[in-house]
Amino acid sequence: MVTRLNPLLNKIIELQKIDLEVERLLAEKKKLPLRLQELEIEFQSISDAASRRMKEFEEKQKEKREKDRQLQTGLEMLKRARERLFDVKTNKEYQSLLKEIETSEAKNSSLEDEIINLLDSLDGLEKETKVKEQEFATLRDDYEQEKRSVTEAIESLDRKLDASVRKAEELKRGIPPDLIKKYEKIKVLGHGIAVVPVWKEVCYGCHMAIPPQLYNEVQTSDEIMTCPNCNRIIYWEDRTA
Ligand SMILES: [Zn+2]
């Protein structure tokens, strides 16, 4: 730290730095729970999609079981109708039984087609589910990892905030109350910035030129001075670096 004629100025500059750091940490901390919320929403939508797929799979399985049962019944009816062919007495009965067998065969055949289609789509769904489950597992790992890291970031921010607040408190103990009061008042009016450097006759708070006389005084006097334009506390600093 540069040695200044008034050591209180150093403390005020340091206090400003800490206060800005606290502001930055608070802003960062505000964003993190939002990130957690976003993550949860993303994860929820993926897990909803997985549930929907599972439900569709189960419905198709149920439908297939129902068709299997119908086909079983159809095949038994067909078998019985064929057996009855040997017992018919009249041609009319025979024709009617043939018609019944034909209808039954057609119905069974279409049931078989439907079952084949269902098997195909169950097969497709099963393959899709396997792929999606793998994706889901990866996403869940990512989600959990990111959730952990966001939680850790919040904890780390809390520790930093705590340390900064304590440092500011300690620093304030070495600054006269009236100067702190002045600092706080300027900070409110100056949108969070109360102390700014001047360099080459320009105030870095308002970017306006300051009188040459004041610029000289800032460099040589041990008084705490303020910018005539923005009223912030000013100190000299080489800004070439
Ligand atoms: Zn200014």
pLDDT digits (tens, 9 = 90+) for 24-68: 999 999 998 888 888 889 889 888 988 898 899 999 999 999 999
What is the predicted pLDDT for the residue at 35?
A: 84
- CA angle centred on 139, ends 134 and 145, rounded to 5°: 130
Please, which residues bridge with residue 202 across strands? 199, 209
- Distance from the CA of 232 to the center of ligand 1, in angstroms? 6
What is the predicted pLDDT for the residue at 182?
A: 96
What is the predicted pLDDT for the residue at 60?
A: 95
3-state secondary structure of 49: helix
- Distance from the CA of 234 to the center of ligand 1, in angstroms? 8
What is the predicted pLDDT for the residue at 36?
A: 84
Q: Give per-residue burial for 180-203: e unless 16+ CB within 10 Å, then b.
A: bebbeebbeebeebbbbbbeeebb
- Distance from the CA of 204 to the center of ligand 1, in angstroms? 6
Show the low-confidence residues of the chain (pLDDT under 50).
Answer: 1
Write down the pTM of the prediction: 0.67
Q: Where are the domains of the chain?
A: 20-174, 180-236
- Distance from the CA of 182 to the center of ligand 1, in angstroms? 16
What is the predicted pLDDT for the residue at 28?
A: 92
- Distance from the CA of 205 to the center of ligand 1, in angstroms? 5
**CB-CB neighbours of 25 under 10 Å:** 20
Q: Which residue has the tokens 């990866």?
A: 138
Tell me the two tokens of residue 216: 């000289």
- Distance from the CA of 225 to the center of ligand 1, in angstroms? 11
CA–CA gap between residue 140 and residue 45 (Å, rounded): 12
- Distance from the CA of 24 to the center of ligand 1, in angstroms? 22
CATH tag for 20-174 (out of 3.20.20.140, 1.10.287.1490, 1.10.490.10, 3.40.50.11540): 1.10.287.1490
What is the predicted pLDDT for the residue at 50?
A: 85
- Distance from the CA of 55 to the center of ligand 1, in angstroms? 67
226: left (phi over 0), alpha (psi -120 to 50) or beta: beta
- CA angle centred on 171, ends 170 and 173, rounded to 5°: 70
- Distance from the CA of 189 to the center of ligand 1, in angstroms? 12
What is the predicted pLDDT for the residue at 135?
A: 86
